[in-house]
Each structure stands twice: as C-alpha cells, then as structure tokens.
C-alpha cells in the first residue's frame, strides 16, 4: 500500500519523501512513525502519512512527538475533519483494514483539507499543545 500511495501521490504532483521500509520483513512501526513525525516537525514535510497493519500503533507512536497530531482514519469524513478541526498533520492508515481505493480517497481528503482557523479549533489545538508541554521531559 505504501508503494502504491507514494506513486499515486507523485502522479498527483506531490513531492514524496519515503521514510519507510522497502522490505516485506516486519519492522518496528515506532521507528517509522518517529521518522515521519520528525520530518513534519522539522518542516522537511508539510504532512505525513504512515501505513502499518492497523494504523493504531503508528498513530500512538507519532503522537508522542511534540507538535505531531496523528490519527487513524478509515473514512473520508474523519480524514478531512481531523485536518479542518484538529490540525491533523500525520495520517495513519491500516493496510490490513482498508483497501487501496479507500486509502487513496482518504489521502485525497487529508491532503485536500486545510485547518479552519476558527477560534474554537485554534483554542482546542492550543490546549493539546499545553498538555504536551506539561509532560515534556
């Protein structure tokens, strides 16, 4: 799925930075989530997409990085709304949960959305950042 999505995104005109594995051997998803989250946090990438079995573990790992707001999305509404309301910057997909066609739809919804900037959403994202800072080491 990762390879197909990378090709699809490149074909749509996006610059793709592949930080994942190219092996079929099992990998530790926290390593991939960390690499993608750091690329987004540093500004090397505007947004990130992580594909793993369910998307859940990748999301949990990515959310440990300050400033990263990651979520598993398996429907287009959530992929769009999480950007518009929550300023989602890393989309996590479960290859064992969704098919390729739906994955492309979700990626389109995620990348086609923008943060609304509405006061209530800005306030809520700021509260998320405040929670992160309270637990920073």
- 107 CB burial (10 A radius; 0-12, 13-18, 19+): buried
Helix axes 119-134, 76-86, angle to 10 degrees: 80
Asked if 83 and 110 touch (Cβ cutoff 8 Å), the reply is yes
Tokens of 136: 């920073």
Give residue 26's pLDDT.
81
Comparing C-alpha atoms, which of 53, 13, 15 is closest to residue 32? Answer: 53
Confidence category of residue 25, pLDDT binned at 50, 70, 90: confident
- Would you list the DSSP string of 48-100? EEEEESSSHHHHHHHTTSTT--EEE--SHHHHHHHHHHH---EEEEETTTS-H
Instruction: Tell me the pLDDT tens digit for each residue of 83-116.
Output: 999 999 999 999 999 999 999 999 999 999 999 9
Instruction: List active site positions.
Output: 52, 85
Tokens of 123: 């306030």
Q: CATH number of the domain at 2-134, please? A: 3.40.1400.10
Q: How far apart are the first and last CA of the chain?
A: 35
- 15 CB burial (10 A radius; 0-12, 13-18, 19+): exposed
Instruction: Tell me the pLDDT tens digit for each residue of 59-82.
Output: 999 999 999 999 999 999 999 999
Give residue 75's pLDDT.
97
Confidence category of residue 43, pLDDT binned at 50, 70, 90: very high
Mean local confidence (pLDDT), 2-24: 92
């Amino acid at each position: 799925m990762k390879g197909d999505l990378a090709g699809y995104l490149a074909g749509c005109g996006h610059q793709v930075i592949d930080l994942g594995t190219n092996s079929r051997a099992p990998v530790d998803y926290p390593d991939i989530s960390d690499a993608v989250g750091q690329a987004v946090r540093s500004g090397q990438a505007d947004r990130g997409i992580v594909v793993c079995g369910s998307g859940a573990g990748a999301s949990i790992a990515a959310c440990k990085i300050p400033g990263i707001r990651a979520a598993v999305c398996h429907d287009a509404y959530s992929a769009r709304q999480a950007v518009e309301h929550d300023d989602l910057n890393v989309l996590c997909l479960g290859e064992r949960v969704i098919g390729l066609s739906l994955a492309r739809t979700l990626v389109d919804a995620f990348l086609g959305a923008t943060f609304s900037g509405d006061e209530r959403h800005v306030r809520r994202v700021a509260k998320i950042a405040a929670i992160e800072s309270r637990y920073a080491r």
